[in-house]
Amino acid sequence: MTTVICPYCFARSSAAGLPYRCLMIPGGVRGSQPCGPERDDVWAEFMGPSIPPSARMRGPVFTRPRSPVSRLRPAANAGPAVCPGCGVTTTVRVCGSCHSDLPSDYCEQDSRIIALVGAKASGKSTYVAVLVNELNRRVGQAFDASLAAMGQGTQQRDKEMAQDLYERLRLPDATRPAALGFNDPLLYRLSLPRRGRLGTGSRHTTLVFFDAAGEDLAGADAVDRYTRYLSAADGIILLVDPLQLGTVRDRLPLGDGPPLPAVETPPQQIAADLATQLRAHGRGGSRGRVSTPIAVAVTKTDMLRPLLDPHSPLLSSATHEGGTLDEDDRLAVHEELRAQLADWDSGALYRQLERDFAELSLFGLSALGAPPPADAPADVPKSGPQPLRVEDPLLWLLARRGLLPVTNAWKGQSR
């Protein structure tokens, strides 16, 4: 029986047992009038205080009666259902816990929940927008992959972000804190080639990204608001702004670049709070280290050029030759950043991560490729985004799950 994890409240349930929502359109087999809207207080209370009273009125939620056949074969309940009120067939499934609508094909494929966390001003919203663009273009071409937004919310968000970043050359607004309402996750259908003994085909996976506001990661109590999200994650991408490290701020030359950001919650504290919450909800191993793999991505590497060797692997993107993840390249980036962090903060962040997480890797990336103009810090550089290595953390997490092939040139093997 297929188990579905709701991408909104992260409750687990069987696909066959999910309720449906009436479409409220004419055309039922009985020729009856369409159903009228009903108050959906379950959904409204989950969404938070920003939902106006009028928005609570939605299509009725119903559960399809189980037939004798479905009792023997529960999967038979996974298809469309006929609304008992108006007779119209609907494919819209809803979560039984929060009544959020699920995309039509969400329940039919494997899902990977990626937790995206970081302090305020670490660039989470910009990172996701640029990552999606790269997966649709350069990276998608290298891996023969395609990415499609699932659901109207994600499609609209992608359209607005692309217009802001690539047409208007404006940075996205900061993520709103949880106190102002629920932030919808971003859902994508990732299609990758499948090669086996029976020939070639496609493998489809749902990617769920959840962007938590910096204000919600300021301490252990605030992080608890996202406990379900974090504990359900298959992998975590922790964005670390190097401009929050005192040594880096002191060493960067004063010039024509944008002003340094205000000092926010230290990355070391965010990592420790994450580990505390995950251990408290069953993700800790026998030795006390969290079992969820974490990709720690140092952002804004374009700003670090004065502190890096000209030949640093951080200053150019991987080619992904042959549609594989180059393990030697990943390790070169990891070791470079581990050495840099030992210099920048005496290795405090890395020591914290090693003691709290059983599996981690360091990455360096730049979503824009250059800093915003000094006179317009909310703008994208005039050349537009020219990203560096934005895909690396996600590719590593996917490869860990066997979704991407990995090449190790040192050992001369691909797996």
Q: Grade residue 146 by pLDDT with cuts at 50, 70 and 90.
A: very high
Q: Grade residue 415 by pLDDT with cuts at 50, 70 and 90.
A: very low
Inform me whether the pLDDT recorded for 367 exceeds 50.
yes
Local structure of 163: helix, strand or coil: helix
Taking residues 246-275, report their average pLDDT. 82
pLDDT for the residue 216: 60
Q: Grade residue 196 by pLDDT with cuts at 50, 70 and 90.
A: low
Give the CA distances from residue 119 to residues 6, 86, 263, in Å, rounded to whole numbers and listed in that order: 25, 49, 10
The two three-digit tokens of residue 133, written as one number: 């663009």
Report yes or no: 235 and 114 within 8 Å, Cβ to Cβ: yes
Between 138 and 176, where is the model more confident? Answer: 138
Inform me whether the pLDDT recorded for 360 exceeds 60.
yes
Per residue in 38-91, pLDDT tens? Answer: 999 999 998 878 788 889 999 999 998 766 555 445 444 467 899 998 888 999
Per residue in 327-352, pLDDT tens? Answer: 999 999 999 999 999 999 999 999 99
Strand partners, 238: 117, 296
Fold of 109-414: Rossmann fold (3.40.50)
Q: Grade residue 193 by pLDDT with cuts at 50, 70 and 90.
A: confident
Taking residues 150-163, report their average pLDDT. 90
How far apart are alpha carbons 113 and 315 in whole angstroms?
Answer: 29
The identity of residue 14, as a single letter, is: S
How far apart are alpha carbons 265 and 274 in whole angstroms?
Answer: 13
Q: Which segment of 153-157, 197-201, 287-291, 389-393 scores lowest on mean pLDDT?
A: 197-201
Domain ranges of the chain: 3-107, 109-414
How far apart are alpha carbons 326 and 238 in whole angstroms?
Answer: 21
Question: What is the number of other CB atoms lying within 10 angstroms of the CB of residue 222?
Answer: 19
